[in-house]
Structure 1
């Protein structure tokens, strides 16, 4: 969360198109929080594309975070690792800016825009680990944004634009291009960064023909690169409609309070499993925001002129399989059935067993799931850009947390990327003694990339160099896991 508000004489001001803002200053960093980039998506604006924010008279207090999007806390098994911030209110289509107090002496500064994850159903920019101070200290104007979640942002409804949450992000990025100069930022040097669902939505933006209108560079952390068909993505919406007793239309959902839709969605989700059975909130192919499957568009050449830094953690699955005990309930027969259902050749499973002979069937299945969802598509994406005009850099986060068998789980890299190992969110995942040397290496690489430089390792080529981030700060592996990835089905 933000530090305490500084005295009035240290409260900086900024002027944007819609009015004057009064922020807060702490230790040489100015913060402007809760800035609306679109009107509240309530009333007649609910389930509609984002509309411009209204202007205000006088000064707007920008010293505190705005409301958070309607959502439920994580289930109990995950809540101890993934906190939820609940700020009531309607104005959650907002963003936050951290910028050096001495920016006027530096010239236009590079901009880094953060899009949080949370399975498209949870998350906010107000989490302690997402504080942008560490980036601003390195001469970067840091922006974090919020967008509609769950059924408000990703329902598949008749008469409603698909993927409203992605349209929200487009509106926020256009705001950044238009307004960021007021905070010392260079609108011609904008890097976007997202993790998990945030990276998934940014992949959809990267795949658009007009992506370069929105940003200049992209960092994609542990995010699926694909979207689902309208029919498959609509399963959750249809299930929520049935539980709420309304039609799967704008009129039907608009008659249900957002909080009740969150409850219905949570009840439907409770019947799903980490293995993917049951409906889930997902990007849906179709409409303005995601006109085609993002991975297909990228493999066909979309945005090959935009530099990309992309990667995953080495044990993504542990956040999904370990907290609820799923990893221990999976036996050999379940592994075989899941492999056959996913059309994964037996030789892929055998390759995983050779690398980890003591792994349980649940751990092997988790590795295969990670390959299918993330590592395989990331490799294909990077391969498709080898001869393109812009470089690609690939990383794998391998440091293993000692907390509760989480290892190098999904989201484990966040405290290192933000150099916020002391944040409660980071300690919950990595413990109190995570290696600062690794945070220095990762944060430094992300800072360099956002400034337009190379992150510090070899760009992707036919040699397939992967920067392996471990406690030593990192080293290059060439074509790791090839025997595991080469047999994966393309999807």
Structure 2
């Protein structure tokens, strides 16, 4: 039974949620003013507030975005758009009567240009069911959030995530959460965003712990990040300035963005949205800062899927590449023959595409994960490492990028996740993975050894999950060539 009588007071005013089966949810709650008009391409500003009780029983607006251009990506990653200006909002799920419970804050992925918190897959019921106050946050995407424009601040989408995290810290007590026990967690682009928060000097004032799934803290140069803005400006026929871009509607900018990014992927390269090292919101190289200084006081859980690059290799025409095309691709990526030989020896019957995916999965994700864990170990920081290995049968994905999400959320039968991992995904893996995330948020211990010289990696798979020590270490070591 649903009961619409839960009223909570936050700093901007009162909101009314709804309770169902012992869990209350508050949807579309603004954490900042709408980024429109004079606030377009500006840093997030406090919400002006409202009078009376604001209805928070349905989802708020979503950030402007297009559907995925690739047919398979569009099939497995649904796009849901809710119109409206106040899309800098959060959703909260909390057990009825909650008091000082651990808090988990979700930052969705989507290459910094797609995704939203209104997807059924990101429903927080399972987290609230298990004694956590769950919050999902929305932020500016694509051209609105990650352009590098003359006359505007950079990294606006990151600034939104930081503002939302600070809002949670200030307001979550009203929902029964403990502001001194907050875990940020994200996947892909969301993981990159919170990883950059890990590099901030005051990170301990924002969160207690962090979970990074298939995305590491990084920032490119302003010049690199500006490339996509320049190309979008050329499509629009204007200069890359704040005033020029603000003269176009959100829909017009999304259309121009689609044209620029139509052929872009981690495999093909090209113009892409990124966080830039501007010396302001991003003060320095985040990949170095997260292993030293204040970041060492923040325990992190991080990891990858086993076959990350399958999403871009085995679901595209690249899957039919020849041995000669593989060799040409390896040269383009500057991968030495000695390194490639180790992967070939371990997979004597693999197709060229499968070999390429294994190599790129490590290059794009696993090597950086190991290096970060090693660097944090050298500085005394607590790190736990995982790998998700269960292969999805959908579209030949295998254990591809993002296939772990339904297991983390323990929502395998959500239509969104059935599209990604099928109707028969193993519940035991979801039980294991979701419980580990909950345990880490509550105690800082997901249930296995912290990273040390033996390189323990907890591998989630069926029929059983467990620790593997230094998995595929010959391949990791081969990159020394």
TM-score interval w.r.t. the shorter chain?
Answer: over 0.9
The match for 1:477 is 468
1:175-186 map, 5 Å: 175-186=167-178
**Residue 345 of structure 1 contacts residue 487 of structure 1 at CA under 8 Å; is this kept in 2?**
no
- Aligned mate of 2:95, from 86, 100, 118: 100
Q: Distance in 2 between matches of 1:383 and 1:429?
A: 32
1:125-204 map, 5 Å: 125-204=117-196
- The two structures, once aligned, show a CA RMSD in angstroms of 1.6
The match for 2:109 is 117
The match for 2:20 is 26
Query: What stretches of structure 2 of length at least 5 have no aligned partner?
Result: none
**Residue 352 of structure 1 contacts residue 364 of structure 1 at CA under 8 Å; is this kept in 2?**
yes
Q: Distance in 1 between matches of 2:479 and 2:15?
A: 52
**Residue 129 of structure 1 contacts residue 415 of structure 1 at CA under 8 Å; is this kept in 2?**
yes
Task: Indicate yes or no: 2:83 matched with 1:91.
Answer: no
Q: Distance in 1 between matches of 2:428 and 2:56?
A: 34
Shift of 1:274: 4.3
Shift of 1:273: 4.5
Shift of 1:402: 1.5
Task: Indicate yes or no: 2:360 matched with 1:360.
Answer: no
Task: Indicate yes or no: 2:310 matched with 1:318.
Answer: yes
After TM superposition, the structure 1 stretch with the greater mean CA deviation from structure 2, 460-469 or 282-291, is 282-291
- Aligned mate of 2:60, from 57, 61, 66: 66
The match for 1:436 is 427
Structure-2 change in CA distance of 1:299 and 1:339 (3 Å): farther
Q: Distance in 1 between matches of 2:57 and 2:292?
A: 44
Shift of 1:300: 4.6
Q: Distance in 1 between matches of 2:479 and 2:237?
A: 41
Q: Distance in 1 between matches of 2:364 and 2:479?
A: 10
Q: Distance in 1 between matches of 2:352 and 2:118?
A: 38
Q: Distance in 2 between matches of 1:299 and 1:451?
A: 23
Shift of 1:340: 2.7
**Residue 388 of structure 2 contacts residue 404 of structure 2 at CA under 8 Å; is this kept in 1?**
yes
The match for 1:240 is 232
What do residues 436-480 of structure 1 show as CA deviations (whole Å, max 9, x unaligned)?
110000000000001024101111001100011101341111111
- Aligned mate of 1:422, from 413, 425, 443: 413
Q: Secondary structure at the match of 2:390?
A: coil
**Residue 274 of structure 1 contacts residue 321 of structure 1 at CA under 8 Å; is this kept in 2?**
no
Q: Distance in 1 between matches of 2:217 and 2:479?
A: 15
Q: Distance in 2 between matches of 1:453 and 1:187?
A: 15
Query: What stretches of structure 1 of length at least 5 have no aligned partner?
Result: none
Q: Secondary structure at the match of 2:14?
A: strand
After TM superposition, the structure 1 stretch with the greater mean CA deviation from structure 2, 368-377 or 382-391, is 382-391
